[in-house]
Amino acid sequence: MSEETVQAMAMQNWIAGIDEAGRGCLAGPVFAAAVILPSDHGIVGLNDSKQLSAVQRESLFPLIQQRALAFAIASASVEEIDRLNILQANLLAMRRAVAALGLRPSLCLVDGNIDPRLGVATRCVVGGDALHAEIMAASILAKVARDAQMQRLDAEHPGYGLAQHKGYGTVQHLTALRTLGPSAAHRMSFAPCAQAVLLLEQAA
């Protein structure tokens, strides 16, 4: 890469959107994504991932990757969630995603109200996944990537329905926890998982 190219890139206003998926789940890692979009990305249908169907998210997933100037998807493990707490693990996943970007952003727009200390200029935007295309794109990448991981964990830990509820505390999931106890994919720092162990011990 020539010095002229480096200087030209340095003059660009790279804005990255940052969002997470899986923060409130009882099982599985938390995911985060960072996306830098060109102003003329032309992606139709971007929205907060929670407002899109699974089919819509999965159709947008490769399109975002194709048209982004840079993107990265990262995660923090169940072990890290239990050791650090979910908030700190969530922020760690965000830092990993930004660090993995092929371009260094001049500004990061983060969904939420907590600064993840990314090492670059950051603006926290409450409800940002409904306001900024970059954050919408990040929310879709994080959600689709995490859902795929939960499909894999469902095969490794059958009986909990992880592929269906993706680790959230549904009636089906809580019933399975009480019956089977937590698996290695469960977050033991979350009360329902810890309580499931106590219930099994009391029943023994």
Q: Which residues contact 123 (CB under 8 A, 6 or more apart)?
A: 107, 108, 109, 110
Asked whether the predicted pLDDT for residue 190 surpasses 90, the reply is yes
- Average pLDDT score over the chain: 91
Which tens digits make up the pLDDT trace of 95-114?
A: 999 999 999 999 999 999 99
Query: Tokens 């089906």 sit at which residue?
Result: 172
Rounded Cα gap, residues 177 and 157, in angstroms: 12
Asked whether the predicted pLDDT for residue 71 surpasses 90, the reply is yes
pLDDT > 90 fraction of the chain, expressed in percent and rounded: 86
DSSP 8-class letter at 45: T
Which tens digits make up the pLDDT trace of 75-102?
A: 999 999 999 999 999 999 999 999 999 9
pLDDT > 70 fraction of the chain, expressed in percent and rounded: 90
Which tens digits make up the pLDDT trace of 34-47?
A: 999 999 999 999 99
Q: Which domains does the chain have, with CATH numbers?
A: 3-158 (3.30.420.10)
Rounded Cα gap, residues 39 and 15, in angstroms: 10
Query: Tokens 């894999």 sit at which residue?
Result: 152
Give the mean pLDDT of 184-191: 96
Asked whether the predicted pLDDT for residue 201 surpasses 80, the reply is no
pLDDT of residue 202: 58
pLDDT of residue 8: 46
